[in-house]
Amino acid sequence: MRGQGEKTLKEVLEQMVQTYNMEPKMTQAKIKGEWETIVGPVVARHTERVFLSKKCLYVKMTSAPLKQELFYGREQLIARINEHLGKEAVEMVIFS
């Protein structure tokens, strides 16, 4: 039983994430860590860098044809990423 003013560990961690504005970096880390699961091994193998800034995901690719294919399917990619994360974390994808 909790006493007055006591918080659960989950509440403390959520407050810390909010206080230190850690949510964007945690989301970026989750996308990077699960990139291969989200896009598959072929795309992951040709991905050089993934960076999230203000709901815009920047993806640097090593294969021009694959980059072009992903460009045309970017709406599906955004939907897949957001579904995987369980929230609307990405609104736009920019390939380079």
**Inter-residue contact 78 to 93 (CB < 8 Å):** yes
Q: Where are the domains of the chain?
A: 9-95
**What pLDDT score does 64 carry?**
95
Q: Could you tell me the two tokens for 71?
A: 């460009």
Going residue by residue through the chain (96 aa), what tens digit of pLDDT does each one get? Answer: 567 778 899 888 888 888 888 888 999 999 999 999 999 999 999 999 999 999 999 999 999 999 999 999 999 999 999 999 999 999 999 999
> Rg of the chain's alpha carbons, rounded to an integer?
17
- Residues 20-29 have pLDDT tens digits of 888 889 999 9
Q: Is CATH 3.30.300 correct for 9-95? A: yes
Residue located via tokens 């880390």? 29
- Residues 47-62 have pLDDT tens digits of 999 999 999 999 999 9
Query: Taking the model in full, what pTM does it have?
Result: 0.83
Q: Where are the alpha helices (DSSP H) in 1-96?
A: 9-19, 23-33, 35-39, 41-45, 64-72, 74-85
> Strand order of the sheet with strand 56-61?
47-53, 56-61, 92-95
